[in-house]
Chains A and B, each alone.
Chain A
Amino acid sequence: MFWNREVETMPQEILKELQLQRLKEVVKRAYERVPFYRKKFEEVGLKPQDIKTLEDIKYIPFTSKAELREVYPFGIFAVPLSEIVEIHSSSGTTGKPVVAGYTKGDLELWGEVMARCLTMIEITKEDIVQIAYGYGLFTGGLGFHYGALKIGATIVPASAGNTRRQIELMRDFGTTFLACTPSYALYLAEYAKEEIGIEPSLLKLKAGSFGAEMWTEEMRKEIEKRFGLKAYNVYGLTEIIGPGVAHECTEQAGLHVWEDHFYIEIVDPETGEVLPEGTRGELVITTLTREGMPMLRFRTRDITSIIKGECPCGRTVRRIDRIRGRTDDMIKVRGVMLFPYQIEQAILEVQGVEPHYQIVITRPQYLDEIEVQVEVSKETFSDEIKVLENLRKKLEKRIEQTTGIRVKVTLVEPKSIPRSEGKAKRVIDKRKLTD
């Protein structure tokens, strides 16, 4: 089902024309109205009229989260505050928060893209939509709210928390759609069964949108099994608009990006060079139509790739892969990008159990060496050297297949890898890199 079939299935060539026209407009607006952008343009000697093709976007300087913090609170707004009708803000746990301002038009846009997301997974006005994302400064709750409002669904604005109440509402109202973080979804399922004695699969839920944190395909299967629903990935961020930047269709094979409003690029996190389709790198987003807060080449720090080829659902807007990591977690060894989750995945495949591991990088002379220390668990331990040596070799082989990098695997005793509040420190970089 389509909310806006014309745009969602627009041929790429026409879409590109539309993007170029909108890009020129947003660049001009940002340059003229936001001193922050004008200064950045002047620093590199760029004028809005220099942007003649979509490829020219590469000349525009990136915008980072750190820069946005510097102009806290309203330094990125492109309209007078009187035109801003709603403000959201990130939590600011890692520094000053980032503030997002929306005009009436921006809220209209937000509702439009979220309506497309919901319609795409067959949510209609007949559905009872329970929104268990936080309402308030966080964009999650109200983003879904505006979309559900637009399609005319029955909204249950439960907001986050109050788990018992959430489950009672689902049962009593016959909720058919749930939006929350994936970890909260799993908690809800467990709570329903253990604390209230409600079998979650007997609830009327048929679909759910989960996001705002990283999750895996295994978690998707688990959520789907426990609730008997279809679980979808949703992507968005405060700096761009909130949820609704991208969402999976019923194929569950990547997230369609609403490219008529958001221009996406994948860049090398280190060099900033634009990477081709299919290559994994950092997602960079430019808002094409935001009025209150135009965002030019925002570095999301999220790692993904643009999926090649057309989606069987008929939409022509391109898809991105599920978020695979954060650039903060990235390690570059022997010139290759490496993410801890790749190694984790490889170990999991060999052992069949959740691994405890640590990656130690050294540079004894000129070449990086990677040691992956894997804890020997009850499940993998054997009283025969042969078996353990085989395990070690299998791990080395699988990791090389997954990452393309040869590593040395060392088996270590349990708990020899330090654990800090559930989040283990995965990477120890002992290279003395001064550059």
Chain B
Amino acid sequence: MKIKQISVFLENKKGRLFEALKAIAEKNINIRALSIADTSEFGILRMIVDNPEEAKNALEEAGFTTKISNVVAIGVKDKPGGLAEVLEHLFKADINVEYVYAFVEKSGEQAVVVLRTNHLDKTIDLLKVHGIKLLSWEDILAL
């Protein structure tokens, strides 16, 4: 149930995000989810795309440093407290969230949350136990 995420190192310089997105757009790669974490000097662009390997090649050809890592994606009810409930389970199990980003699906019925924790396998087991919907790669592609 792990999802492949591609991350890209970006300097905080004008045009870098554009260059990165252009590189994958030229290969017809579609972005499913995206977030940027930044400090005053650099940022990390994290994306779920429909073809991570090809995105990696395209970005590296354009001179970017990239990395593919595993995350989990979950479907959360689009209502107040939906994400908080999930995080409570992790907190009680002493699992640390490294980062999280979310977006609302077109239908508006569920929010998709991308999660990275310090114990990914344990996280998956725990979420399953609590009946939380884990999205498969097929689910992601169908979004």
- Are B39 and A382 in contact, with the CB atoms below 8 A? no
Asked whether A413 and B46 contact (CB < 8 A) given A381-B9, A389-B39, the answer is no
CB contact list, A372-388 vs B, under 8 A:
376-378, 381-386, 388
A413 is contacted by which of B5, B16, B69, B116 (Cβ under 8 Å)? B16
CB distance from A399 to the nearest CB of B (A): 17
- Complex CA gap A385/B41 in Å reads 11
B99 and A413 form a contact (CB under 8 A): no
**A414 interface residue, CB < 8 Å from B?**
yes
CB-based contact A416/B11 at 8 Å: yes
> Residue of B at shortest CB range from A380?
B65
Chain A proximity mask over B99-117: 1 for CB below 8 Å, otherwise 0? 1000000000000000010
Chain A count of residues within 8 A CB distance of the other chain: 18
Q: Are A413 and B63 in contact (CB under 8 A)?
A: yes
Query: CA–CA, A410 to B9, complex, Å?
Result: 13
**CB-based contact A381/B11 at 8 Å:** no
Separation of A93 and B39 alpha carbons in the complex (Å): 47
Judge whether A412 and B11 touch: CB under 8 Å. yes
A415 within 8 A of B: yes
Tell me, rounded to whole Å, the shortest Cβ–Cβ distance linking B142 to chain A.
25
Contact in complex: B41, A376 (CB < 8 Å)? no
Q: Please name the residue on chain A nearest to B99 by beta carbon.
A: A384
**A376 and B39 in contact (CB under 8 A), knowing A381-B66, A383-B46, A413-B16?**
no
- Asked whether A330 is an interface residue with its Cβ less than 8 Å from the other chain, the reply is no
B7 interface contact, C-beta 8 A: yes
Q: Which of A378, A388, A415 contacts B42 (CB 8 A)?
A: A388
Residue A360 at the B interface, CB < 8 A? no
Q: Please, which residue of chain A has its CB at the minimum distance from the CB of B71? A: A383
A385-B37 contact, Cβ under 8 Å, with A413-B16, A413-B64: yes
Within 8 A of A (CB), among B38-66: 39, 41-42, 44, 46, 63-66
State how many angstroms separate the Cβ of A56 from the closest Cβ of chain B: 55
B3 within 8 A of A: no
Distance A412 CA – B39 CA, assembled complex (angstroms):
13
A335: shortest Cβ distance to chain B, in Å? 28
Expressed in whole angstroms, the Cα–Cα distance for A349 and B123 within the complex equals 35
Q: How far is the CB of B12 from chain A (nearest CB, A)?
A: 10
Contact yes or no, B44 A385, CB < 8 A: yes
A410-422 vs B: 1/0 string, CB under 8 Å?
1111111000000
Contact A383 B64 (CB under 8 A): no
Are A377 and B65 in contact, CB atoms less than 8 angstroms apart?
Answer: yes
Residues of B within 8 A of A411 (CB): 9, 41-42
Q: Is A383 within 8 A of B65, CB to CB?
A: no
> Does B67 touch A at the CB level, under 8 Å?
yes
Interface members, chain A 384-435 (any B CB < 8 Å)? 384-386, 388-389, 410-416
B86: min CB distance to chain A, Å: 20
Partner among B10, B42, B63, B69 whose Cβ is within 8 Å of the Cβ of A383: B69
With a 10 A CB-CB cut-off, give which of B42, B64, B67, B99 has the most chain A CB atoms.
B42
**B41-A381 in contact (CB<8A):** no
Interface string of A351-385 (1 = CB under 8 A from B): 00000000000000000000000001110011111
Roughly how many angstroms separate A411 CA and B11 CA in the complex, as a whole number? 8
With A and B bound together, what is the CA distance between A416 and B19 in angstroms? Answer: 14
Of the candidates B5, B44, B69, the one having the most CB atoms from chain A within 10 angstroms of its own CB is: B44
Taking CB atoms, residues of chain B closer than 8 Å to A415 are: 63
- Minimal beta-carbon separation of A390 from chain B (angstroms): 12
With a cutoff of 8 Å between Cβ atoms, the chain B residues found around residue A376 in the complex are: 9, 42, 65
Beta-carbon contact of B98 and A413 below 8 Å: no
Distance, CA A62 to CA B42, complexed state (A) = 49
The CA-CA distance from A180 to B44 in the complex, in Å, is 47
Residues of A within 8 A of B42 (CB): 376, 388, 410-412
* Chain A residue at minimum C-beta to C-beta distance from B19: A413
Give the docked Cα–Cα distance between A384 and B99 (Å).
Answer: 8
Among the interface residues A381, A383, A388, A413, which one has the most CB atoms of the partner chain B within 10 A?
A383
Please give, as numbers and ranges, the residues of chain A lying within 8 Å of B39 by CB-CB distance: 385, 389
CA of A286 to CA of B50, assembled, Å? 71
Q: Are B67 and A381 in contact (CB under 8 A)?
A: yes
In contact, A383 and B7 (Cβ under 8 angstroms): yes
> A7 CA to B130 CA in the complex, in Å?
85
Provide the residues of chain B in CB contact with A383, threshold 8 Å. 5, 7, 44, 46, 67, 69, 99, 116
Q: How far is the CA of A385 from the CA of B36 in the complex (A)?
A: 10
Do A413 and B37 touch (CB < 8 A)? no
A3 to B66, CA, bound (A): 59
Closest to A386 in B: B98
Residues of B within 8 Å of A378, CB to CB, are 65, 67
Instruction: Show 8 A/B contacts (Cβ-Cβ < 8 Å), sorted by A.
Output: A382-B67, A383-B67, A385-B39, A386-B98, A388-B42, A413-B11, A414-B63, A414-B65
Given contact pairs A376-B42, A410-B41, A413-B9, a sample of 19 additional A-B residue pairs in the complex whose CB atoms are under 8 Å apart: A377-B65, A378-B65, A382-B67, A383-B44, A383-B46, A383-B67, A383-B99, A384-B99, A384-B116, A385-B39, A410-B42, A411-B9, A411-B42, A412-B42, A413-B11, A413-B16, A413-B64, A414-B64, A415-B63
